[in-house]
Amino acid sequence: MKKIKYGFLACSLLLVHAINAQADSTNSSSTTTVKNKDVKSHSTAEQLDTISVTANRDEEATLDVSASISVIDQQTIALDQPNYQKDLVNAVSGVRVTQTGSSLGHMTSIRMPLNTGSYYLFLQDGIPVQSSGFFNHNGLAYTNFTSASSAEVLKGAGTALYGSDAVAGTINVISKDPSEHQGYTLSSNIGSDGFYKLGFSAGHQYENDSSIGMAISQSESDGWRDHTRSKRTEANITHFMALDDRNAFKTIISVNSSEADMAGSLIGLDELEDKPESVGDIQAALDSGLNIQRKFDFARISTEWTHYLNDSVELSTIGYLRHNRNQYTATWEKNLPKNDSKTRTLGLMFKADIDQDYVRWTMGADVEATKANRTYQQLFDYVPSGFGSAVPAGDIYDYDVDYLALSPYVRSEFDLSDKFQISGGLRYDTSKYDYKNNLTDGQYESSNYSRPSSDNDPSFDHLSPKLGATYHLDQHQNLYARFANSFRIPQATRLYSLKTNNVAFDLDPEVSDTFEVGYKLSSNNHRLDAAIYYMTIDDTFTQRENTDGDRYYENGGETQHKGVELTWLTKINEQFSTRLAYSYSEHEYVNDEEYGDNEQAAAPNDLANLRFIFSPKNVKGLQAIVELEHIGKYWLDNQNTKTYDGYNVGHMKLHYQITKQLKVNAKINNFTNEIYAESASLSYGKEKYTPGAPRQFFAGLEYSFQ
């Protein structure tokens, strides 16, 4: 069976060669000049933006990037109308984002099982939204994802421009730039379960090549489940100023805030099927009288100075200040502690691009200095009814951490011929924690919580090599191969928020190696991206459980991750096109002391997203799609004792530009009203399910004026 699955890519490549042979070879690609570089962009069935800015932090055709990178363009976002993080990226092959019980929280899976680990780098406008030592798996909540202009997903380990956390994937959410448009825009969306979203943007362009703009939106929902009300605000201010032909400044202020009531997991399939809207296993938490909510707050101001030293050298310097705050009640702990984590960061990103005809160099350095504080409070005296320890009311943790990260890098690309390019890169990451415990060292009262002493200040260093090669078969298609080493450091919470039974331990960084080969085609009627990857991770942070039921982490052995990814757009005629995003993957432990060679939990082998796209010629400006989403079967636990069968759901979406000023949109999610679980697990002998939303309706309009 596995050989059949892996043979899927080979068959696809043979078939696409047959299709390409029949394609109209007289159609030529258009050429767009971007920053004094000739970048070829190709017409495709769907208006996919083939220009990427993520891989090397510069504009280049995705066809020329020796990596698997997907661009979610403005037209696709107009159809998808993302209200939640999954709406933005789940149509990308091999990508699965699920919403948690707090509705605005999420977990991510890219070339990995669904997890909460720091395997993913989340960016907004090319800048990390959180420090590498303070990863939050809900990181996309720190981006302005509901009002994004576009988004990009770089699958696998990052390029030399990205360090810790860029292990399995990088997601870059690109903000709308209201300063690019003269005038004003009002938008309004409504939907099921009391959902609404209001937006306003304004932009003004000056005669001296400068502009300013702002955009703000507010959304709110009662939630389709009990106790899942949420609200969110996003704001963005952009100012651009060109001093002269060689110097330009761009300042962006990004702010967002989320507040969501939290629901729990449903216990067993019967509860999932009979009472999917119920609050689940946190009813006791709600009965406690505590405010069971999750809140995210984010603010960042950044200024980029672009300087063209000459026709061959471009310098980019980005300075930024960033604030993150994450508040929640830990409903997964029976004593219901309250968390409040705050980080404040000063960052600098410098990059130089040097173009010497057949050789191109990129070199630079990233620096971040972060001050963080975490408090973990017990708000009432907790006495367990069964196993576990009593936790008296008081401060469980209260500590400060100063964190410094410095990362120089270099990357070069050589044209060995008109058709063959090779690239190589090196990145050196060094980081250091400086920890201060504001409470008494050691065990907290008689509980199983423990506070390490203030002399626990580890530092981490890692050198990451990268190699790549691209061979252009012709102007429409190429083959590529790459190797990328990456790593992730232990997070501050792993180092300083400890339990009694694992207070004396050390964690080393995880180290990964990614090997990937791929094929890309871009012609007038077809766009295909296919990749085969193999990734190993050594010294994995493996979760264990002691006899008291307390969970902790230690460096385990090795895990292996391998798979096939395929994205295929086909233009059938002027009105109809299709888009298939498919992946098959396997994720396994390697001789683990507890799990042996088992498959990892929460890792469906098959993911698929199929879109049928209709753009009628007699209704100009209208586009409609039917979308089918498939999630395959997967294990609920690493012991491989129980499985969940996965699900199939369908959606319908429409976007219609009636006039230059007026647009309308509508969508029906889960139009068959399927009962399914977004995520499922087996914990303490209980099957736990997070239910997916039932059939929901959304509609909106947007009006622009001067």
Please report the pLDDT score of residue 679 as a whole number.
97
Flag whether pLDDT at 579 surpasses 90.
Answer: yes
Between strands 442-443 and 449-451, the pairing is antiparallel
- With tokens 């070879």, the residue in question is 25
Q: Is 83 helix (H, G, I), strand (E, B) or coil?
A: coil
Please report the pLDDT score of residue 181 as a whole number.
84
Higher pLDDT, 2 or 517: 517
What does the pLDDT look like over 618-673, one tens digit per residue? 999 999 999 999 999 999 999 999 999 999 999 999 999 999 999 999 999 999 99
Dihedral, CA atoms, 115, 116, 121, 127, nearest 10 degrees? 150
Q: What is the mean pLDDT of the chain?
A: 90
Q: What domains appear along the chain, each with residue ranges and CATH number?
A: 2-705 (2.40.170.20)
pLDDT cut 70: percent of the chain above it: 91
What does the pLDDT look like over 156-201, one tens digit per residue? 999 999 998 999 999 999 998 888 888 999 999 999 999 999 999 9
Over residues 695-701, mean pLDDT: 98
Run of H or E residues at 486: strand 477-488
CA geometry: angle 340, 162, 401, nearest 5 deg: 30
Residue 327 in tokens? 């508040």
CA geometry: angle 479, 485, 488, nearest 5 deg: 135
Higher pLDDT, 340 or 502: 340
Phi then psi for 18, rounded to 5 degrees? -65, -40
CA geometry: angle 404, 408, 414, nearest 5 deg: 160
**Nearest residue to 189 (alpha-carbon basis) of 238, 236, 143, 147:** 147
**552 — pLDDT class (breaks 50, 70, 90):** confident
Neighbours of 74 (CB within 10 A): 13
Flag whether pLDDT at 294 surpasses 90.
Answer: yes
Please report the pLDDT score of residue 503 as a whole number.
65
Please report the pLDDT score of residue 461 as a whole number.
96
**Nearest residue to 499 (alpha-carbon basis) of 541, 539, 465, 547:** 547
DSSP assignment of 313-329, as one string?
A: EEEEEEEEEEEEEEEEE
What does the pLDDT look like over 109-147, one tens digit per residue? 999 999 999 999 999 999 999 999 999 999 999 999 999
Residue 183 in tokens? 């005038």
CA geometry: angle 674, 678, 683, nearest 5 deg: 125
Stretch among 12-16, 383-387, 428-432 having the lowest mean pLDDT? 12-16
Please report the pLDDT score of residue 440 as a whole number.
95
| Residues 6 or more apart whose Cβ sits within 8 Å of residue 61 | 39, 40, 41, 42, 50, 51, 52
Over residues 358-379, mean pLDDT: 97
Are the C-beta atoms of 185 and 201 separated by less than 8 Å? yes
The three state secondary structure string of 112-142 is CCCECCCCEEEEECCEECCCCCCCCCCHHHH
Please report the pLDDT score of residue 548 as a whole number.
65
- With tokens 């307390």, the residue in question is 550
Residue 7 in tokens? 């043979």
Are the C-beta atoms of 626 and 652 separated by less than 8 Å? yes
Are the C-beta atoms of 15 and 22 separated by less than 8 Å? no
Residue 304 in tokens? 């980029």
Are the C-beta atoms of 294 and 322 separated by less than 8 Å? no
Q: DSSP alpha helices (H): ranges in 23-131? A: 74-80, 85-89
What does the pLDDT look like over 50-103, one tens digit per residue? 688 888 888 888 888 999 999 999 999 999 999 999 999 999 999 999 999 888
User: Residue 127 carries which side chain, given as an amino acid letter?
Assistant: I
Q: Give CA–CA dist 677/602, Å, rounded.
A: 12
Residue 568 in tokens? 């295929």
Please report the pLDDT score of residue 501 as a whole number.
65
Q: Is 13 helix (H, G, I), strand (E, B) or coil?
A: helix
What does the pLDDT look like over 9-39, one tens digit per residue? 343 333 334 334 333 333 333 333 333 333 3
Which strands form 686-691's sheet, in the order they lie side by side? 266-267, 686-691, 677-683
DSSP state of 519: E
**Nearest residue to 347 (alpha-carbon basis) of 363, 381, 373, 371:** 371
Q: Give CA–CA dist 187/216, Å, rounded.
A: 10
Q: Is 555 helix (H, G, I), strand (E, B) or coil?
A: strand
Q: Helices H, strands E: what count in the chain? A: 6, 43
Q: Give CA–CA dist 684/558, Å, rounded.
A: 25
Run of H or E residues at 550: none
CA geometry: angle 509, 513, 514, nearest 5 deg: 135
Stretch among 347-361, 394-408, 536-550, 612-626 having the lowest mean pLDDT? 536-550
Between strands 169-175 and 120-124, the pairing is parallel
Please report the pLDDT score of residue 481 as a whole number.
98
Flag whether pLDDT at 617 surpasses 70.
Answer: yes
Are the C-beta atoms of 516 and 68 separated by less than 8 Å? yes
- With tokens 């309009």, the residue in question is 701
Flag whether pLDDT at 470 surpasses 70.
Answer: yes
- pTM of full prediction above 0.75: yes
Are the C-beta atoms of 485 and 511 separated by less than 8 Å? yes
